[in-house]
Structure 1
């Protein structure tokens, strides 16, 4: 398909190479849809619903998801710079929204205060992102770079950070019980305790 309409109802549709830049869509519903090589940069999806959809090599940078519901989404090789995920509609009765990001660019994203248990981020670049006050229990954040990202009063219990770098996490200001870190990266956690290591 090559067009989108307000309040449209899309089921098992495939969108390839769709250019939807700086546009606005309201009240549309997408279920089990696939988006391939689409450009939605600077667009607004207001009050939309995305369920069990997959995005492959798409550009969603600066996309506004205000009041939209997101469930069971997979992003592969996508660019999602500057997305404020807090604007979406996250029902409190859910804790795991089954969101997966694989090899994505997530710089300058905001997850502030969100509860996204079992979130998956694999081989992603997540620089200058905001995870403060959030709950990401049992998430997988592996093979990622988190340079200058913010963690404060964040629940990171049992989060797998294996092979991830740049994790500047204060062990006294965050919940990290059961979290997994690579040995080299774990050394940086001690800096928040003022501990000096020598060979």
Structure 2
């Protein structure tokens, strides 16, 4: 059986209204707006909902976005040394050319999400649910997928420092075109697809996991 690729639908945004973000509050519902250069750092936007919105050159450092919802949104040039979005919901979202430090997205739900050409330091997706997700041309220092449930994820041309898949449940996860320095929770790779070169790199970890002695 061939590994199924994620299904990423195109996002078309028309008739957007320019907004500065000064009047948005926690729990608000915003639709069809464009935010350019908005400074939302340090704000409490818990439970906010964005639908069919575009974000450009946005700063979200230390913004509280627990339980936030993003649907059919495009994000370009996002900057946040601390990006706090636990238990958030992302559906049909594209993030491009962004720089994120610590990403706290544990127990989040991602469906139809693409992150392209971005650099991320530490990404916490523990116990998250990912369906149809594509990470392309990204540099990630540590990607923590511990306990996550994942279906149709592709890491395309990415460079990953440490990948943690401890107790993860994977199906149709394609790792073939990416590089990894270290992998934790090797048993959690069940359901992933790798290539011959990656298998050679994983051989010492597999031997240690199985208790094999190579002489």
Q: Normalising by the residue count of structure 2, what TM-score does the alignment of the two structures yield?
A: 0.68
Deviation at 1:166, TM superposition (A): 1.1
Residues 84 and 191 of structure 1, relative CA distance in 2, 3 Å threshold: farther
Of 176, 184, 193, the residue aligned with 2:206 is 193
Structure 1 spans left out of the alignment, 5+ residues: 1-10, 91-95
Residues 170 and 50 of structure 1, relative CA distance in 2, 3 Å threshold: closer
Q: Which has the higher strand share?
A: 2
Contact 1:168 1:189 in 2 (8 A): no
Distance, in Å, in 2 between the alignment partners of 1:42 and 1:129 is 19
SS across alignment from 1:38: coil
Of 118, 128, 136, the residue aligned with 2:122 is 128
Figure out how many residues of one structure are paired with residues of the other and give that number: 176
Residues 67 and 130 of structure 1, relative CA distance in 2, 3 Å threshold: closer
Q: Which has the higher contact order (CA 8 A, sep 6+)?
A: 2
Distance, in Å, in 2 between the alignment partners of 1:170 and 1:48 is 30
Distance, in Å, in 1 between the alignment partners of 2:119 and 2:178 is 20
**Match for residue 12 of structure 2?**
none
Structure 2 spans left out of the alignment, 5+ residues: 1-14, 181-193
Distance, in Å, in 2 between the alignment partners of 1:74 and 1:55 is 6
Residues 193 and 25 of structure 1, relative CA distance in 2, 3 Å threshold: same
**Match for residue 65 of structure 2?**
65
Distance, in Å, in 2 between the alignment partners of 1:115 and 1:69 is 9
Of 137, 162, 167, the residue aligned with 1:168 is 162
Distance, in Å, in 2 between the alignment partners of 1:190 and 1:136 is 28
RMSD (Å), alpha carbons: 2.9
SS across alignment from 1:30: strand
How does 1:48-197 map onto structure 2 within 5 Å? 48-86=48-86, 88=88, 90=89, 97-166=91-160, 168-169=162-163, 173-181=167-175, 182=177, 184-185=179-180, 187=198, 192-194=205-207
